[in-house]
Chains A and B, each alone.
Chain A
Amino acid sequence: MRAPSLGNTAARVAAERLEAGRRVVEIARSRQVDFMLVAGDVFEDNGVGRVLVQQVADILTSFGGPVYIIPGNHDPAIPGSVWEHPAWKNSPRLHVLTEERPIKIGNGLLFPCPVLQKQSFRNPTEWIPERKSDGFRVGLAHGTVQGVSAEEPDFPIPRDAAERAELDYLALGHWHSFATYTDSNRSVRMAYSGTPEPTRFGERDSGHALVVNLATSNSTPTLEQVQTAGLEWFTMRKDLRAPSDLKRAREELETLANPSSKLIDIRLEGILFAEDRAELVRIQELLSARFLWGRLETSGLHPSPEDDSWFSELPLGILREAASRLASQAQTGGADDETALQALLELYAMSKENSI
C-alpha cells in the first residue's frame, strides 16, 4: 500500500490490511465456508515486495480450504506478476485462476474471469457458456458494473451479468465499497464485497467480508456482511460561525472512541475568533498525540473582522498597528491569507508568553 499522504503512519495501515486478511480467513474458518473467493486486486501492483506476496499467500493458506483467486487490474496476470511467485504453487489449496475455463467444485462449476491486462473495454464475463447441466454456477469477476460512476469503464460488466450467464451468484471485485445488484426477480445474485480494510477517506462502505450462502442451484443466495476493518477513516467538516463552535468541535473530537485506530481528516472553515485560537492549538495537539493519524486543514478559516479584542493587550503603537495589518491581510481572500493568519497566531502566542 502506498498511501503517501499518511507519511509514517502508512506502515501501520499496511500492516492492518494484512490483519484484515487474517480476520477474513478467521471468519471463513469460523463459518466453515466451503471455499473462499478472492475477486482480484489482492495487491496494489505487481511490483510489490516479494515478502508481502509470501505473507499474503501464507494468510490465505491458513484458511485450510480451497481459495480461488483471480488477478485484478492492479495485479493482472502478466509477465513478472505476483502470480508467478512460487508461494502460490507451494500450497495445493490456493488456486490462482488465470484462464477463462470452468472449474469444477463439488457438484457445481466456478467460472473465473481473470484480468490479464491493466485495461480493457471487454466484458470479462461474456465468455461464460450457457447452462448445460444442473449444479450451482458461480462466477468470479473483476470489473466495473455498468452504472458505477467511472471516467472510463474498465472491464465493463452488465448489471444483469449473473442472469445473462445463468449464474447462481457472481462475486465481484474492483470497487472498494459493498454493493449489490438484483436480477429481474429482485434477487441479489451479484455483489461487490468491498475491501476488507478501508483504503482512504470517504469510502462509503468498506472494511467487510461477504459470507454468501447458496443452498441449492437456482436458489436465491443469502449475503452476510461481516466487518473485518481494523482502522477507521474518519472525516470531520466544520463550518465555524460562533465563538464556541471550535470548542464544541474539539470536544467532539475528544469523545471519539478508539482514537489509536482512527485516522482523522478535519477541515475547518468559517471564522476564527480570538478566544478560539488556543482551541486550534489544542486540536492540533490532540491529533498528534491521541489519534493514529490526523490532518487539520485551516486554510478555509478567516479571523473574525470584528474580533480584535486581544489587540488591546498588545503595547500601543507599532505592534498593535502590525497586528491590525496582519488581520487585514488575513481577510483579503488571497493566497497569503494563511500566512497572515499564522503570523497573527505567532504574535498572539508571543504576546501571551510576554505577559506571563
Chain B
Amino acid sequence: MIARSIAVDNWRCFVGELVIGPFEDCINVIYAPNRTGKSKLFEAFRMALLDSHTVSGKEVEAVRPWGRELAPRVCVEFFYNGVDYRISKQFLDNPSSLLERREGKRFVRLAEGKAADERTRELMTALPPGRGLSKPENWGLAQILWVPQGGQPMGPLQADVAGAIRTELAAQVVDTHTGSLEEKIKERYYEIYTPTGKLKTGKGAPPLVHLQERLRETEVALQEAQSRQQQFEECSRRVEDHQARRAQAKRDAGEVYKQLDEVRKKADEYRTLASEKNTATEKVTRLEAQYNQVKQRFDLIQKNQSDLQQAAAELKRIEDELPLKEKEAETRQSEYSRAKTKLEDRSQRRAEVDRARELSQMATEMEACGHEIVRLDRLIDDVRQSEAELIGLREQLASLAAPDTSTLAKIRKAVSACDEVRIRLEASLITLEITPEQDLEIDVLAAKEPGLRKLSIGESTTIQGSPEVAVNLRGVARVRARGPAGEIEELRKKDVQLTEKVSHLCAPYGTQDPTQLQHIRNKANELENSIATVESRLETLLSGGRTPEELIEERSRQQGIQKSILEGIPEWRKKVPDANSAQQEYERIRETFVAEIEPVEDAWRKAQEAAMAASGQLQTHTERLKQVRENLASLEDQLAKLTTESEPLEKLDEKKRNLALQYEGAQQTLMNIEEQLSIFDANPAEIVSRLEKQLTSFERQEQEARESEIAERARLEQLSSQGPYTLVGEAERKVAQLQRDVEVETLTADAVSLLYRTVAECRTEAVASVVQPAEESVTQMFRRITGTGFDRVRLNEQFGLSHVVPSTFTDGVGLEQLSGGEQEQLSLIVRLALADVLSREERQLVVLDDVLTASDTGRLIRLLTLLDELSTRMQFIILTCHPERYGSLDSARLFDLVQIKEAAIAESTPGDRIGRV
C-alpha cells in the first residue's frame, strides 16, 4: 500500500481543510519547523487507516481543535494491489467512515461504517483493534513501516506481522515448482479434510465419509440379521426341548399307567386281606381272654396246694431244730460270762495306768509353768528397765533447749547478714590513724567515740567516725576528715534490725553463736535417736500388743497353775519330779497293762460275739416258726375258699387245654393273613392315589409341551422362511465390501493427511529458518552505514534486535554497547530490511517521523543513499524540521507544510475535499 494524498480538517492545530499530496511513489519529504503539526499528520495517517471511527476518550478528544466544537476529519487516498482507494473518517461528532474505490475516473462507495474501518485496517493487520486509539503493538505492518518521532526501537511484533514476514521470506526459499506441487497436496488434503483437520461432511464430503456412513448402516442391518439367525437357532433349540419334554412326559405317563394297572389289582387284594385280618384278630383276642381266665384260676388253685405242702414241711423242720438252737444259746452265754469276769479282773489295773498318765502330764505342766514364769520375769525386768531409760532420755531432751533445723537455718542466715552489714559498716567508717612523734593530747571532736585522748610517742591510735572525723591536735592542727553520709545510716539501721532479729531468734536457746547452737542441735539429735532406739526395743519386747500389766497377770496365772498342782500332790512341794521320768514311768506301766489285758479282751470279745450270734439265731428261728404257722393257716383258708367257688381242678385243666387249641388255630390263621399282607410295602391304595396324581401331571406336561412345541414350530417356520442365514451372509458380504472400501479410502485419507502434515512440518521448519536471510540483510545494510566494524547483527525469532557481533569479538555484545547514533541507525535499518521483505509483492508505505537526528552527516548520507535505493520497492514519507539534511535525495518531492497551511487558509473554502459521509 502506498499513499496518494492526505487531507485533514479540524485536526488539532489544522482548523479548516489541509491537503498534502499527491505523493510520489518513491520519496516524499514534508518539512516544517517544530510545533507546526508534522507529527499530527503522522497521527492522522494512523487514525485514518487503523482506528475505528467510533473511537472515543480523552486522547481522541485532544484531536479536536482547542476551544472549538468541530469534528475532526481525515481523508487518505491510497493505492493497493493495483486499485486506488479513498478512506474518509469523521471522529467524535456524528462519527462516520466511508471507503471508496476508484472505478474509472471517480471514486465509488465500497464500504461504510464499521465495514469500511475493518477493510482498511486489514491492509495493515488481520487482528481487530483494541479499545481506544491503537497502540504501536497493534499497528500491524505499520509497526515496522511507520517510525514515530524519535525513531524508537521496534517493539515485539504482532503474531500476524511476524507470520507475514516469515511467509514472505519463506516464499523466497521455495521455488515455483514447489509451490504448485505443495498447492496440489493442499488441494488433495482439502478434498478430504476441513481446515481444522476433521473429515469433511455434507455435500463436499469425501467418499470415505459416505462409505463409513453406509458401513454403519450395513453393520446395523448385519446385527439385525445375526439377531434373527440367533433367534432362529434358539427357536430350533426350544422346539427340540419341547419335543424332548413331550416325549419324556409321554414315556413317564406310559410308565405310570402301567404301574397304576398293577397297583390297582394289588389294592383290591390288599383290601380283602385286611378285612380277613380284622376278623381273625378279633377271634384270637377273644379266645386268648377266655384261656387266660381259666388258666389263671387253675394256676391259682394249683399254687395254693403246693404252697400249703411246703409250709407244712417247713413248720416241721423248724419245730425239730428249736431245742438245738436253745441249747447252743445257753452254752455260748455261759462262756461269755466267764470271759467277762476275767476281763473285769484284769481291768482293775487300768486305774494305775491312768494315774501314771495323770502324774506325767502334771509334771510336764509344772515344768512348763516354771519355764514360763522365769521368761516372764526376765521380760518384765527388761520392759521396766527400758521404760526407765526412755523416761530419762525424754527428760534430757526436754531439758535441752535446741533449735530445730529450720530455725537454725534462719539464725545462720540472719547472723550471716548481720556480719555482712557490720563489715560493710566498718568499711564505711572514716578511719584516722595517728602515730605521734611526741606525747600528745588530742581532742576527738567528731567520731564514733568523741572525747579527749592522750597519745604517747610512737603509740598509734585509730579514730573512726561517720560522716566525719574531727580531731584537734592541740598545738599542732585540727584535722577533719569527711566521707559520704547516706549509706552508713542505712547500714546502721539494718544492723540494728538484724541484731534484733538474731536476738529474737536465739532468745530461747541462750546463745547467738551458730556453732554452739549447732552443737545443741546435734546433741538433741543424738537424744532423739536414742529415744527412737529404746522405743523400738520396748515395742519388740511387748510384741503382740501386750502391756506390762498383762505380763504380770500372766505370770500370776502360771503361778496359780503350779499352786493348784501342788495342792493336789503335796509331796511335790519338796521336790517336783522330772517330767521325762514321769513320762517314762507312765509308759512302762501302760505297756505292762496292755500286755496283760489284750489276750483277755480278745477272748471276751469272741465269747460275746458267739453268745450274741447264738441268741440271735434262736430268736430268728422262733420268729420264723410263728410266721410259718400263720402262713399255713392262711393258705388253708384260701384253698378252702377256692375249692368251694369253682369247678374241680381236673375239669378246669381240660377246659384250659381246649381253649389253648382253639387259640393256636386262630393265631395261625391270623399269621397267614399277615404274611400275605406283609408282601405289600405300603397300602396299594395310597400308591394308586399317588400314581393317579403323577399320571395326571405327566399328561398335563405332555399337553403343555405339545402346545409349546406347536407355538414354537409356527415361529420357527416363520423365521426359517426368512432365510436368516442367507440374510446374514448378504449383510456380511456388504459389510466386508464396505470395510474393504473404507480401509482403502482410510489408507488414502491417512496417507494424504500424513503427506500434508509432513510437508507442513517441513515448511514450518523452513520458515523458522528464514530469520537468517533477514539477519543477513540487516547486517549488510548496517555494515554499509557503519563500515566493517561489525561482523553480524543478530535478530531474535520475532525479528527483534538481539545483539551485534563486532569484528574484533567472537561473542556478541548488547545493543546498549553501541553509540546513540548507531542504535538509532540500526533500529531504522532493521525496519527497512523487514519493510523490504514486505514490499516484495506490494509496494509499501514507510513513514519516518523526524528520525536520524543523532546521525552524523557521513552516515546520514549513506543512509539516504540506502533509502534512495529502497525507494524503488517502497514509498517513503519523511516528516522533518531539517529539510536540508535530505538535500542529497534528488528524487524526493518536498512539501513545505507551513506554506501549504498558509495557502490553505488563504484559499479556505470549507468542505472542498473532505465531504461528509
A: which residues have CB within 8 A of B? 1-8, 10-11, 44-52, 78-81, 84, 314-319, 321-322, 325-326, 329, 336, 338-340, 342-343, 345-347, 350-351, 353-354
Is the beta-carbon distance between B759 and A52 smaller than 8 angstroms?
A: no
Give chain A residues whose Cβ lies under 8 Å from the Cβ of B184: 350, 353-354
Is the beta-carbon distance between A50 and B733 smaller than 8 angstroms?
A: no
List 11 other contacts, CB 8 Å, given A318-B766, A322-B758. Answer: A4-B732, A7-B734, A46-B232, A79-B236, A80-B717, A318-B174, A319-B759, A321-B765, A322-B755, A342-B751, A343-B751
Give chain A residues whose Cβ lies under 8 Å from the Cβ of B229: 45, 47
One of B346-354, B682-690, B721-729 contacting the partner: B721-729
- Would you give the 0/1 interface string for B231-271, flagging 1 where the beta carbon is closer than 8 Å to chain A? 01101110110010000000000000000000000000000
Give chain B residues whose Cβ lies under 8 Å from the Cβ of A350: 181, 184-185, 188
* Residue of B with least CB distance to A326: B758
User: Which listed residue, A44, A47, A340, touches B232 by the CB 8 Å rule?
Assistant: A47
Is the beta-carbon distance between B733 and A317 smaller than 8 angstroms?
A: no
- Complex: how many Å from CA A350 to CA B752? 11
Give chain B residues whose Cβ lies under 8 Å from the Cβ of A318: 174, 178, 182, 759, 762-763, 766
Would you give the shortest CB distance from A252 to chain B, in whole angstroms? 24
Is the beta-carbon distance between A2 and B728 smaller than 8 angstroms?
A: yes
- Complex: how many Å from CA A84 to CA B232? 14
Would you give the shortest CB distance from A120 to chain B, in whole angstroms? 14
17 A-B pairs whose Cβ atoms sit less than 8 Å apart in the complex: A1-B729, A44-B725, A46-B720, A48-B723, A49-B727, A79-B240, A80-B717, A317-B175, A317-B762, A322-B755, A325-B761, A339-B747, A340-B751, A342-B750, A343-B751, A345-B751, A354-B184
- Main secondary structure on A side of the interface with B: helix
Give chain A residues whose Cβ lies under 8 Å from the Cβ of B727: 49
Total contacts A to B, CB within 8 angstroms? 158
Is the beta-carbon distance between A351 and B178 smaller than 8 angstroms?
A: no
Is the beta-carbon distance between A4 and B735 smaller than 8 angstroms?
A: yes
Give chain B residues whose Cβ lies under 8 Å from the Cβ of A51: 723
Max count, chain B CB within 10 A of own CB: residue among A6, A45, A52, A338: A45
- Complex: how many Å from CA A4 to CA B729? 7
Give chain B residues whose Cβ lies under 8 Å from the Cβ of A52: 723, 726
Would you give the shortest CB distance from A303 to chain B, in whole angstroms? 13
User: Which listed residue, B185, B188, B239, B722, touches A79 by the CB 8 Å rule?
Assistant: B239
Is the beta-carbon distance between A315 and B737 smaller than 8 angstroms?
A: no
Instruction: List the 10 closest A-B pairs by CB distance, nearest first.
Output: A49-B723, A7-B737, A47-B725, A79-B239, A4-B732, A342-B751, A2-B729, A315-B178, A45-B725, A49-B726
- Complex: how many Å from CA A318 to CA B185? 12
- Complex: how many Å from CA A276 to CA B763? 29
A4-B736, A78-B236, A350-B181 known; A317 vs B766 contact (CB < 8 Å):
yes
A317-B174, A342-B748 known; A347 vs B755 contact (CB < 8 Å):
yes
A80-B716, A317-B178, A350-B184 known; A322 vs B762 contact (CB < 8 Å):
yes
Would you give the shortest CB distance from B244 to chain A, in whole angstroms? 11
Give chain A residues whose Cβ lies under 8 Å from the Cβ of B724: 47
Is the beta-carbon distance between A6 and B736 smaller than 8 angstroms?
A: yes
Would you give the shortest CB distance from A233 to chain B, in whole angstroms? 16
User: Which listed residue, B240, B732, B751, touches A339 by the CB 8 Å rule?
Assistant: B751
Give chain A residues whose Cβ lies under 8 Å from the Cβ of B747: 338-339, 342
Is the beta-carbon distance between B736 and A343 smaller than 8 angstroms?
A: no
Give chain A residues whose Cβ lies under 8 Å from the Cβ of B613: none
B180 at the interface (CB under 8 A from A): yes
Would you give the shortest CB distance from B727 to chain A, in whole angstroms? 8
Max count, chain A CB within 10 A of own CB: residue among B235, B239, B716, B722: B716
* Residue of B with least CB distance to A339: B750
* Residue of A with least CB distance to B709: A79
Give chain A residues whose Cβ lies under 8 Å from the Cβ of B209: none
Give chain B residues whose Cβ lies under 8 Å from the Cβ of A78: 236-237, 239-240
- Main secondary structure on B side of the interface with A: helix
B177 at the interface (CB under 8 A from A): yes
* Residue of A with least CB distance to B716: A80
Would you give the shortest CB distance from A73 to chain B, in whole angstroms? 14
- Complex: how many Å from CA A51 to CA B723? 9
Is the beta-carbon distance between A80 and B733 smaller than 8 angstroms?
A: no
Give chain A residues whose Cβ lies under 8 Å from the Cβ of B717: 80
Max count, chain B CB within 10 A of own CB: residue among A2, A84, A329: A2
Give chain B residues whose Cβ lies under 8 Å from the Cβ of A347: 185, 755
Is the beta-carbon distance between A7 and B725 smaller than 8 angstroms?
A: no
Give chain A residues whose Cβ lies under 8 Å from the Cβ of B729: 1-4, 10, 44
B: which residues have CB within 8 A of A? 173-175, 177-178, 180-182, 184-185, 188, 229, 232-233, 235-237, 239-240, 243, 712-713, 716-717, 719-729, 732-737, 740, 747-748, 750-752, 754-755, 758-759, 761-763, 765-766
Give chain A residues whose Cβ lies under 8 Å from the Cβ of B243: 79
Is the beta-carbon distance between A321 and B762 smaller than 8 angstroms?
A: yes
Would you give the shortest CB distance from B465 to chain A, in whole angstroms? 118
Give chain A residues whose Cβ lies under 8 Å from the Cβ of B712: 79
Is the beta-carbon distance between B720 and A50 smaller than 8 angstroms?
A: yes
Is the beta-carbon distance between A325 and B762 smaller than 8 angstroms?
A: yes
Max count, chain A CB within 10 A of own CB: residue among B235, B722, B748, B755: B755
* Residue of B with least CB distance to A325: B758
A4-B736, A7-B740 known; A79 vs B723 contact (CB < 8 Å):
no
Is the beta-carbon distance between A339 and B735 smaller than 8 angstroms?
A: no
Is the beta-carbon distance between B723 and A346 smaller than 8 angstroms?
A: no
Is the beta-carbon distance between A315 and B748 smaller than 8 angstroms?
A: no
Give chain B residues whose Cβ lies under 8 Å from the Cβ of A7: 733-734, 736-737, 740
User: Which listed residue, B173, B239, B732, B765, touches A2 by the CB 8 Å rule?
Assistant: B732
User: Which listed residue, B173, B716, B721, touches A50 by the CB 8 Å rule?
Assistant: B721
- Complex: how many Å from CA A45 to CA B734? 19
- Complex: how many Å from CA A81 to CA B235? 11
* Residue of A with least CB distance to B179: A315
User: Which listed residue, A46, A321, A343, A353, touches B755 by the CB 8 Å rule?
Assistant: A343
* Residue of A with least CB distance to B233: A47
Would you give the shortest CB distance from B567 to chain A, in whole angstroms? 126
Give chain A residues whose Cβ lies under 8 Å from the Cβ of B740: 7
- Complex: how many Å from CA A321 to CA B713? 70
Would you give the shortest CB distance from A142 to chain B, in whole angstroms? 19
Give chain B residues whose Cβ lies under 8 Å from the Cβ of A44: 725, 729
A7-B737, A79-B240 known; A315 vs B177 contact (CB < 8 Å):
yes
Is the beta-carbon distance between B755 and A8 smaller than 8 angstroms?
A: no
A80-B236, A318-B763 known; A354 vs B726 contact (CB < 8 Å):
no
Give chain B residues whose Cβ lies under 8 Å from the Cβ of A343: 750-752, 754-755, 758
Would you give the shortest CB distance from A9 to chain B, in whole angstroms? 8
Give chain A residues whose Cβ lies under 8 Å from the Cβ of B752: 343, 346
- Complex: how many Å from CA A343 to CA B752? 6
A2-B729, A44-B725 known; A80 vs B719 contact (CB < 8 Å):
yes
Give chain B residues whose Cβ lies under 8 Å from the Cβ of A319: 178, 181-182, 759, 762
- Complex: how many Å from CA A78 to CA B175? 76
* Residue of B with least CB distance to A47: B725
- Complex: how many Å from CA A315 to CA B185? 14
Give chain B residues whose Cβ lies under 8 Å from the Cβ of A45: 229, 725
Max count, chain A CB within 10 A of own CB: residue among B175, B237, B737: B737
Max count, chain B CB within 10 A of own CB: residue among A5, A80, A316: A80
Would you give the shortest CB distance from A144 to chain B, in whole angstroms? 22
Is the beta-carbon distance between B755 and A346 smaller than 8 angstroms?
A: yes
Give chain A residues whose Cβ lies under 8 Å from the Cβ of B173: 317
Would you give the shortest CB distance from A15 to chain B, in whole angstroms? 13
* Residue of B with least CB distance to A336: B754
A316-B175, A317-B178 known; A339 vs B725 contact (CB < 8 Å):
no
Give chain A residues whose Cβ lies under 8 Å from the Cβ of B733: 2-4, 6-8, 10-11
- Complex: how many Å from CA A353 to CA B375? 147
Is the beta-carbon distance between B181 and A354 smaller than 8 angstroms?
A: yes
Is the beta-carbon distance between A346 and B239 smaller than 8 angstroms?
A: no
- Complex: how many Å from CA A346 to CA B173? 24
Give chain A residues whose Cβ lies under 8 Å from the Cβ of B175: 315-317
* Residue of B with least CB distance to A299: B747
